[in-house]
Amino acid sequence: MSSHNESQDPGDVQAAIPTQPSRRRFLQSAAAAATVGAAPHLRAQTQTPTAPPAQVQQAVPPRPVTLTVNGRAYTLQLEPRVTLLDALREYAGLMGTKKGCDRGQCGACTVLADGRRINSCLTLAVMHEGETITTVEGLAANGTLSPMQRAFIEHDAFQCGYCTPGQLCSATALLNEFRNGTASTVTADVRARPAQLSDDEIRERMSGNICRCGAYANIVAAVRAVHEGGGQNSGANTPNA
């Protein structure tokens, strides 16, 4: 007599085994599912991001700009974005005005516009048509240095000289501002004309001009000397300064 198991067909044995997945098959299936789920993310990582469509910048074409500098008219082909500093140096060829920081911090680029001192790196050339611009090249007249230029030499008010064009223009305007009664932040009573041009007043009024060589004491001495020497025609051989 044979047992029930002995008479059973092997195929029937397989069929009788419960249909649970093996551990290996389960892990394979899980890994495959994870790969499929992650595929879009992986594709996103490996795809080169497409650049946004480029903004087409329309350049504003240069146009003639006439600047009166040191008594001479210069008609320059300038884009509107050109600063007065770059117009002077790169287009008019007046390299005396210096570019230090190009962002209004050092004063090396100081020039006079209708007698007012300005940082030429912070203003556009097209804004100064019709004005009288004076650069360091225009302080001397007919080969004669201005009183301020002579005082800088006599008081040894520079070392490397890089800041000096701006210092000279600034000091020139400073004496005219004082003569016209303009107060500064160290003026005791800003409602009255400043009584005297003290060293504190000079230092404050020259504080926009940085000297990396540290010639400040001699610069103050030079400005004081010109002021005490009369202050009239204080340092510029120009009509507005």
| Site residues (vs ligand FES, CB under 6 A) | 99-102, 104-109, 119, 121, 158-164, 211-213, 215
Given the structure tokens 């004081």, which residue do they identify? 224
Taken in order 114, 120, 122, 126, the sign of the CA dihedral is: positive
Minimum separation from the CB atom of position 219 to ligand FES (A): 8
Minimum separation from the CB atom of position 157 to ligand FES (A): 8
Distance CA 26, CA 184 (A): 85
- C-alpha of 124 from chain center: 13
Distance CA 100, CA 110 (A): 10
Given the structure tokens 């004076």, which residue do they identify? 134
Minimum separation from the CB atom of position 160 to ligand FES (A): 3
Minimum separation from the CB atom of position 48 to ligand FES (A): 42
Distance CA 64, CA 185 (A): 40
End-to-end Cα distance, the chain: 134
Measured from the CB atom, is 134 or 187 closer to ligand FES?
Answer: 134
